[in-house]
Structure 1
Amino acid sequence: MFLAWNEIKRNKLKFSLIIGVLIMISYLLFLLSGLANGLINMNREGIDKWHADAIILKKDANQTVEQSNFNLNKVPNDYKKQASLKQSGVIVSNSKNEENALLFGVTKNSFLMPQLIAGHKFKKDNEVVADETLKDKGFHLGDKLSLSQSDETLKIVGFSSSAKYNASPVLFTNNNTIAKVNPMLTKDKTNAVVVKDKHWKNKSLDNKLEAVGINKFVENLPGYKAQNLTLNFMISFLFIISATVIGIFLYVMTLQKINLFGVLKAQGFTNGYLAKVVLSQTFILSLIGTVIGLALTLLTSLFLPSAVPIVFNYATLLIFGVVLIIISMLGSLFSVLTIRKIDPLQAIG
């Protein structure tokens, strides 16, 4: 380790280039990780807050809530906890701002309602509770909302914690209000029934309905899988690029020091010792690059606008950092193999 660190100090410019490349790779890697988590969160954060086990939908609705429509009496009332969910896509405007949103018809005390952060729950028709992402987009308590597809006017009486569903902000209201906006959702009709029951698979259902596990339901949300696969592929390729770049840099540097390694071998330094020197150098360089890249990522996140869906999972960042260091060290094995093949007599000339 001493020899490795001493060489780094004596050749600051050369090794700074490697550190610079590692900083850029780790910076991009950590940002992509945060973006991937942010996009996942945008799709499922409202669903996760239900803490549900399954959702009941019409079989031919392709596991899409808004396309599902059935009579409530077709669902047996024998689940541990269950709640009707009515959904309608809306475009809301408060005269200054316009936003695509989802209108959820739920009962006031339903577990589908997230925690309030301002105002109160809806008490009468045409009152809504909006999730806080709408608050960030210029909507306020007391705002009167006009709808593009209905003559009804809604009033914001409260804000809940962020509860996006499939990347859309959500407005919560009672069943009477959503029936006015969407006449297909009458008192006896619903789009879905969300259940909390570990034994939901053992319950019998009407042959036109299906119960879907909540995780499977999330995975089948439009665009969810494609989004995640794309970002995961990008992250995987960054790991490969990192190993390749570090491997090439160290290999070139090893070729430049063949005479030096030949002298060291002639003086009795073993292949194992020289391999440890190269691996120690790689570890130091990758550690410095990864730590600086992580610090820059966290600093950047403080200045990103709220519209950028970035959420950091610190355990994931730590794992990615460790994996990046390990992969960088694997990339240095090309240099180790080259050192083993050096003949001291030929290298010295």
Structure 2
Amino acid sequence: MFLAWNEIKRNKLKFSLIIGVLVMISYLLFLLSGLASGLMNMNREGIDKWQADAIVLNKDANQTVEQSLFNKEDVSNSLKKQTTLKQSGVIISNGTHEENALLFGVTDKSFLVPKMIEGKKFHKDNEVIADESLKDKGFKLGDKLSLSQSDEKLKIVGFSESAKYNASPVLFSNNNTIQKLNPSLSSDKTNAVVVKDANWQKKSLPNNLEAIKIENFIKNLPGYQAQNLTLNFMIIFLLVISATVIGIFLYVITLQKTNLFGVLKAQGFTNGYLAKVVLSQTFIIALIGTLIGLILTIITSAFLPSVVPIKFSIVTLTIYGVVLIAVSLIGSLFSILTIRKVDPLKAIG
């Protein structure tokens, strides 16, 4: 480690270039990981707050709530704890701001409604609770909302914790309100039944219905897997690029020092010792580059606007940082193999 660190200090410019590349790679890696987490959270945060085990849908609905429709009495006594869910897409406007949203029709004490942060729960028709992401977009308590597809007016009486569903903000209303907008959702009909029952798989349902594990339901949300796979592939490619770049830089540096390694071998330094020097150098520059990239990421997160779907987790950032350092060490193996092939007599001349 001593020899490795001293060489880095003597060749600041050369090693600074490698560290600079690592800083850019780690910075982009951390931002992509935050973007991946943010997009995942936008799709599933409302569903996660249900803390449910399964959801019952019509088999012909392709696991899509809004396309599902069935008699709620079909599952009335089948499962332990359950609540109906009626859903309709709406375009809302308070006169200043316009937004695409989802309107959920739920019962008064439904566990689908997240914790309130402001205002009160709905008690009358056309009263709604909005999730706080709408508050960040210019909607406020008491706003009268006009709808593009209906003459009905909705009034925001409260705000809940953020509860986005498939990247859309959610409004919660009673069943009468959503029925006015969608007459097919009559009192005896529902789009879905959300279930809290650890033994839901053992319960029987009519042939036209299916119960889906919540995690599987989330994975089948439109765009969810495509977004995750795309960003994960980008992260994997970044790690591969990192290993390649580090490997090339260190390989070139090793070739430039062939005579030096030959002299060191002639003086009795073993291949194992020289390999440790290279690994130590790689660890030091990878650690410095990763830490600087992490600091830049934290600074950037403080200035990003709330509309950017990015979410950082200390655990995730730590894991990616460790993986990046490990991948950089793997990239240095090419240099170690080159050192092993150095012949002291040929190197000295």
TM-score, normalised on structure 1? 0.99
Cα deviations by residue, 1:46-91 (Å, 9 ceiling, x for unpaired): 0000000000000000000000011111113242210000000000
Map of 1:182 onto structure 2:
182
Q: How many aligned residue pairs are there?
A: 349
C-alpha separation between the residues in 2 aligned to 1:299 and 1:184?
Answer: 50
CA contact (8 A) 1:35 1:311 kept: yes
Task: Report the Cα distance in structure 2 between the residues aligned to 1:210 and 1:27, rounded to whole angstroms.
Answer: 44
1:249-271 Cα offsets, whole Å, 9 max, x none, are 00000000111111111111111
Kept after mapping to 2: 8 A contact 1:57/1:68: yes
| Superposed counterparts of 1:7-22, under 5 Å | 7-22=7-22
Matched residue, 1:340? 340
Alignment partner of 1:288 is 2:300? no
Question: Does the 8 Å contact 1:54/1:211 carry over to 2?
Answer: yes
The unaligned stretches of length 5 or more in structure 1 are none
Which amino acid is 1:144 matched to? K
State how far apart, in whole Å, the 2-side matches of 1:164 and 1:31 are: 22
The alignment status of 1:253 with 2:253, answered yes or no, reads yes
Other-structure match for 2:23: 23
**Does the Cα contact within 8 Å between 2:141 and 2:158 map onto a contact in 1?**
yes
Aligned residue runs from structure 1 range 283-322, under 5 A: 283-322=283-322
CA apart distance, 1:313? 1.8
Contact kept, 8 Å, 2:101 with 2:171, in 1: the verdict is yes
Shift of 1:226: 0.7
Q: Is 1:222 paired with 2:222? A: yes
The residue type equivalent to 1:278 in the other structure is: V
Verify: 1:329 aligned to 2:341, yes or no: no
| Structure 2 residue aligned with 1:160 | 160
AA paired with 2:204?
Answer: S
> 1:244 Cα deviation (Å)?
0.2
Q: Is 1:69 the equivalent of 2:69?
A: yes
One-letter code aligned to 2:128: V
- 1:94 corresponds to which letter in structure 2? N
Asked if structure 2 preserves the Cα contact closer than 8 Å seen for 1:86 and 1:105, the reply is yes
Partner Cα distance (1:108, 1:46) in 2: 18
Q: Is the 8 A contact 1:52 1:196 kept in 2?
A: yes
What is the SS of the residue equivalent to 2:303? coil
* CA shift for structure 1 position 327: 0.6
Query: Mapping of 1:57-136 within 5 angstroms?
Result: 57-136=57-136
- Corresponding residue for residue 56 of structure 1: 56
Is the 2:43–2:166 contact (alpha carbons within 8 Å) kept by the matching residues of 1? Answer: yes
- Residue 210 of structure 1 is matched in structure 2 by 210
TM-score between the two structures when normalised by the length of structure 2: 0.99
Using the TM superposition, name which of 189-198 and 76-85 deviates more: 76-85
Contact kept, 8 Å, 2:78 with 2:205, in 1: the verdict is no
SS of match in other structure, 1:302: helix
Moved over 4 A (4+): none
Letter in 1 for 2:40: I
Which residue number in structure 2 is paired with residue 38 of structure 1? 38
